[in-house]
C-alpha cells in the first residue's frame, strides 16, 4: 500500500515540476522574445500544457473528488479561453503594426497595396510607417504644403 | 392572439439552449464538487436564468461526433501539444533565442462556423501558431507561426494546418463536409454543406 502511495507521489511531483518548468519558460519567453506576436506564443502556450500537467499532478496528490472536479474545470476553462485572448491580442497588435517585419520570413496577410502604408492616426506612437518617405510626402500633401499628384 | 407566437418563440429558443443549459448545470455541479438534488435544482434554476437573461444565438446545425475521428483528432492534438510545447520551451531557454517567424494565409475547405471555430481554437492552443485573422467569406485563416527557416518550412506548416482541418472535419463534420475535403482548397463549390444562418 505504501509502495503504491510512494509511486503516486513521485508521479505527482514529476508532473508538478514539469508543469512549473513550462510556466517558467512562458515567463522567460516574455522577456526574451522580440515583438508582441512572438511574445503571445510564449505568454499563452507553454502555459496551457503547464497548467494541464499541474492540474493532473494536483489531482493525483490531492485526495477527494471534489478537488479533482475543480481542477478539471480550471483546465477546461484554460483551454477554452487562452486561444481567444491570444488571438485578440495578436490581431490588435498586427493591425496596429507592432510587428518586427525584419524577423518575418513571409507575410501573406499583407496583400498587394497595403492600406496601412501611411499613418492613420490610430496606431501607437512607436509604430513606424511601412514606407516612411512616402508617408512624409503624403502627409505634406494633405497639409497643402505640396501640390497634389 | 399575441401570446401564442411569443410562447412558441420562447419554446423554440429554449430548445436551442438546452445543450448550453446542460453545460451550465454541469459546471455548477463541478464547482460544488458533490452530487445532490439541491445542487441540481439550484443549478437548473440558475442555468434557466442565465439563458433567458443573457441569450446567445443558437449554433446552427450542431455537431455529429464520429468516435474514431474524435480519437484520432484528440491523440494528434495531444501529441502536437507536447511536441510543440517542448520546442517552444527549448527556444526560450537556448542561448541564441528564437529564429524567424512567418505569417501565412491558408485556404481552408470547410464552410461551417462551428468547424472553423474548432479548427482555429485547436491551432491556437498548440504552441508555435496563433490565428491572427480569419476571413469568413474566403474561408482563409491567417496564422503567425514560430520557427520557420525557409519556404519549405512554410509549406510544411501550411500542410499541417490543412491536416488539422481534415482531422477536425472527420471528427465533427457532416457527410457533406467530409466529402468536401476531397476537393482541393478553394475549388469546393461555395455553398456545399454551408451551415451559416
Q: What confidence tens digit (pLDDT) does each residue in A62-112 have?
A: 877 778 888 888 888 888 888 888 888 888 888 777 777 777 777 777 654
Residues A87 and A120 in one domain: no
Does residue A49 sit within a domain?
yes
Question: Could you tell me which of B32, B28, B92 has the C-alpha nearest to residue A65?
Answer: B32
Confidence of residue A129 (pLDDT cuts 50, 70, 90): low
Partners of residue B130 on adjacent β-strands: B144
Gap between the Cα atoms of B83 and B56, Å rounded = 36
Say if residue B89's pLDDT is above 70.
Answer: yes
Residues B86 and B176 in one domain: yes
Q: What is the pLDDT of residue A124?
A: 58
Residues B47 and B72 in one domain: no
Residues B95 and B168 in one domain: yes
Q: Could you give the angle at the alpha carbon of B131 between the alpha carbons of B171 and A74, nearest 5°?
A: 70
Residues A131 and A97 in one domain: no
Residues A31 and A93 in one domain: yes
Residue B32 belongs to what domain range?
3-53
In A, which residues are within 8 Å of B101 by CB distance?
37-38, 103-105
Interface confidence, given as ipTM, is 0.73
Does residue B61 sit within a domain?
no
Residue A41 belongs to what domain range?
2-101
Gap between the Cα atoms of B82 and A77, Å rounded = 19
Q: Could you give the angle at the alpha carbon of A37 between the alpha carbons of A35 and A43, nearest 5°?
A: 95
Residues B26 and B98 in one domain: no
Residues A62 and A123 in one domain: no
Residues B41 and B82 in one domain: no
Please give the residue of chain B at the shortest CA–CA distance from A111. Answer: B105
Residue B71, burial from CB neighbour count under 10 angstroms (0-12, 13-18, 19+): exposed
Does residue B60 sit within a domain?
no
Q: What is the pLDDT of residue A125?
A: 57
Does residue B153 sit within a domain?
yes
Q: Which residues of B touch A (CB under 8 A)?
A: 27, 29-31, 33-34, 81-82, 84-85, 88-89, 91-93, 97-98, 100-105, 120-121, 124-128, 130-133, 142, 144, 146, 148, 150-151, 154
% of chain B with per-residue pLDDT over 70 = 82
Q: What is the pLDDT of residue A119?
A: 52
Lowest mean pLDDT among A40-44, A133-137, B89-93, B164-168: A133-137
Say if residue B4's pLDDT is above 70.
Answer: no
Please give the residue of chain A at the shortest CA–CA distance from B148. Answer: A105
Please give the residue of chain B at the shortest CA–CA distance from A24. Answer: B89
Q: How many domains does chain B have?
A: 2
Does residue A106 sit within a domain?
no
Residues A79 and A45 in one domain: yes
Q: Do B126 and A72 touch (CB under 8 A)?
A: no
Q: Do A38 and B98 touch (CB under 8 A)?
A: yes
Q: What is the pLDDT of residue B45?
A: 92
Residues A51 and A79 in one domain: yes
For residue range B16-64, what is the model confidence (pLDDT) as tens digits?
Answer: 677 788 888 988 888 887 788 888 899 999 988 888 888 777 666 666 7
To the nearest 10 degrees (0 to 180), the angle between helices B67-93 and B113-125 is: 30
Q: What is the pLDDT of residue B73?
A: 92
Q: Which residues of A touch B (CB under 8 A)?
A: 21-22, 25-26, 28-29, 32-34, 37-38, 40-42, 44-46, 48-50, 65-67, 69-70, 72-73, 79-80, 82-84, 86-87, 90-91, 94, 103-110
Residues B162 and B102 in one domain: yes
Instruction: Find the CB nearest A107 among B98, B103, B128.
Output: B103
In A, which residues are within 8 Å of B98 by CB distance?
32-34, 38
What's the pTM? Answer: 0.76
Residues B165 and B72 in one domain: yes
Q: Do B127 and A45 touch (CB under 8 A)?
A: yes
% of chain A with per-residue pLDDT over 90 = 9
Count of A–B CB contacts within 8 Å?
131
Do strands A104-107 and B129-135 pair parallel, antiparallel, or not at all (unpaired)? Answer: unpaired
Gap between the Cα atoms of B5 and A59, Å rounded = 50
Confidence of residue A128 (pLDDT cuts 50, 70, 90): low
Amino acid at each position: 500500500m505504501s509502495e503504491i502511495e510512494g509511486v503516486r507521489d513521485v508521479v505527482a511531483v514529476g508532473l508538478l515540476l514539469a508543469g512549473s518548468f513550462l510556466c517558467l519558460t512562458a515567463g522567460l519567453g516574455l522577456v526574451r522574445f522580440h515583438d508582441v506576436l512572438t511574445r503571445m506564443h510564449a505568454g499563452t502556450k507553454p502555459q496551457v500544457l503547464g497548467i494541464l500537467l499541474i492540474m493532473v499532478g494536483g489531482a493525483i496528490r490531492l485526495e477527494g473528488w471534489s478537488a479533482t472536479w475543480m481542477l478539471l474545470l480550471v483546465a477546461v476553462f484554460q483551454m477554452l479561453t487562452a486561444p481567444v485572448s491570444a488571438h485578440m491580442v495578436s490581431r490588435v497588435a498586427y493591425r496596429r503594426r507592432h510587428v518586427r517585419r525584419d524577423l518575418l520570413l513571409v507575410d501573406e496577410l499583407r496583400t498587394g497595396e497595403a492600406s496601412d502604408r501611411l499613418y492613420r492616426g490610430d496606431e501607437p506612437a512607436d509604430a513606424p510607417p511601412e514606407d516612411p518617405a512616402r508617408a512624409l510626402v503624403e502627409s505634406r500633401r494633405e497639409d497643402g504644403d505640396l501640390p497634389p499628384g | 392572439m399575441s401570446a401564442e407566437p411569443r410562447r412558441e418563440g420562447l419554446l423554440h429558443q429554449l430548445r436551442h439552449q438546452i445543450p448550453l443549459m446542460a453545460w451550465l448545470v454541469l459546471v455548477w455541479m463541478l464547482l460544488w464538487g458533490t452530487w445532490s438534488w439541491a445542487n441540481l435544482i439550484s443549478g437548473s434554476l440558475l442555468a434557466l436564468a442565465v439563458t433567458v437573461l443573457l441569450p446567445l444565438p443558437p449554433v446552427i446545425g450542431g455537431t455529429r461526433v464520429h468516435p474514431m475521428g474524435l480519437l484520432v483528432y484528440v491523440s494528434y492534438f495531444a501529441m502536437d501539444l507536447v511536441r510543440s510545447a517542448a520546442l517552444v520551451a527549448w527556444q526560450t531557454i537556448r542561448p541564441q533565442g528564437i529564429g524567424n517567424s512567418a505569417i501565412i494565409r491558408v485556404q481552408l475547405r470547410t464552410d461551417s462556423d462551428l468547424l472553423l471555430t474548432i479548427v482555429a481554437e485547436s491551432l491556437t492552443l498548440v504552441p508555435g501558431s496563433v490565428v491572427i485573422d480569419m476571413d469568413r467569406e474566403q474561408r482563409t485563416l491567417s496564422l503567425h507561426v514560430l520557427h520557420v527557416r525557409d519556404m519549405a518550412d512554410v509549406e510544411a506548416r501550411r500542410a499541417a494546418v490543412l491536416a488539422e482541418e481534415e482531422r477536425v472535419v472527420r471528427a465533427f463534420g457532416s457527410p457533406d463536409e467530409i466529402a468536401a475535403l476531397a476537393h482541393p482548397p478553394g475549388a469546393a463549390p461555395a455553398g456545399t454543406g454551408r451551415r451559416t444562418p
